[in-house]
Amino acid sequence: DGGITQSPKYLFRKEGQNVTLSCEQNLNHDAMYWYRQDPGQGLRLIYYSQIVNDFQKGDIAEGYSVSREKKESFPLTVTSAQKNPTAFYLCASSISWQGAAKQFFGPGTRLTVL
Amino acid sequence: QKEVEQDPGPLSVPEGAIVSLNCTYSNSAFQYFMWYRQYSRKGPELLMYTYSSGNKEDGRFTAQVDKSSKYISLFIRDSQPSDSATYLCAMSEEYGGSQGNLIFGKGTKLSVKP
């Protein structure tokens, strides 16, 4: 089965901790994306990667970091610098980075700060 | 300005009704228009994908794009309780790079009552 997996499904973090969210895809897609979804806010782009070993900041990158060492993996670290990290985090991928590309989403990780 | 407007609802209809969901936008450079369906606590699922103006039909779903009015619509015929979800519109420009990233509406929550 081809698709995008995210883990864990639920994640709880204490104040001041860094946490890493996993995103893996076996679709052989070049581009991968991280979004944050808050109630009433829609999806906002955190980081995106057009190709392995490259990534770019999205609209709300502050307090987040990513890496893209392998084509199939794009982990997101939520650092202690992120002021309001409680949200639903969605990973997506597309076959290429061009505007025509269809993006497919994973099931999401719900992060809660205690 | 990359702004997409979408009425958040909620929208409640009886089973079998025709549903009309809409988005307006301000960026005339948008060329690709998508509709995603998102069930509660799940990742968005690509429902419809259209290029430029015109109509596209897929089963009970019809997507319409009117670029002259900067207005897109999704129609659902013979709506079913299983259509109850949040519907997100998304759009992007022609070319790659940051301009090719998707811009999302905030989503319309639809409830179809048996």
Q: What is the pLDDT of residues A75-107, one digit of tens each?
A: 999 998 888 999 999 999 998 876 567 899 999
**Segment B105-110 mean pLDDT:** 94
The answer to whether the CB of B71 falls within 8 A of the CB of B30 is no
Nearest chain B Cα distance for residue A83, angstroms? 22
| Facing residue for B43 by CB, picked from A56, A99, A107 | A107
Say if CB A61 and CB A49 are below 8 A apart: no
Q: What is the mean pLDDT of chain B?
A: 91
The residues near A65 (Cβ < 8 Å, ≥ 6 apart) are A76, A77, A79
* Contact state of A101 with B8 under an 8 Å Cβ cutoff: no
For B43, the closest of A45, A50, A106 (CB atoms) is A106
Given a cut of 60, whether residue A66 has pLDDT beyond it is yes
Q: What would the pLDDT profile of B53-72 be if each residue is shown by its tens digit?
A: 889 999 999 999 999 999 99
Closest-CA residue of chain A to B6: A42
A1 pLDDT more than 80:
no
Is it the case that residue B3 has pLDDT exceeding 80?
Answer: yes
The pLDDT tens digits of the residues spanning A30-59 come to 999 999 999 878 899 999 999 999 999 999
Q: B41, A37 in Cβ contact below 8 A?
A: no
Q: Return the closest-CA partner of residue A58 out of B104, B35, B36.
A: B104
Distance from CA of A16 to the nearest CA of B (A): 26
Chain B residues within an 8 Å CB radius of A98: 95-96, 100
pLDDT surpasses 60 at B41: yes
Which of A9, A34, A38, A43 to mutate: most B Cβ within 10 Å?
A: A43
Any chain A CB within 8 A of the CB of B44? yes
Q: Would you call B98 helix, strand, or coil by DSSP?
A: helix
B88/A56 touch (CB, cutoff 8 Å), yes or no: no
Q: Do B106 and A101 touch (CB under 8 A)?
A: no
Distance from CA of A94 to the nearest CA of B (A): 11
**Phi/psi of residue A66, nearest 5 degrees:** -140, 170
Query: How many whole angstroms separate alpha carbon B102 and alpha carbon B51?
Result: 14
Query: Touching check for B106 and chain A: CB below 8 Å?
Result: yes
B71 and chain A: CB distance < 8 Å anywhere?
Answer: no
* pLDDT in the model for residue B95: 60
Backbone angles phi, psi at B79, to 5 degrees: -60, 145
Give the distance from residue B18's alpha carbon to the nearest chain A alpha carbon, in angstroms: 25
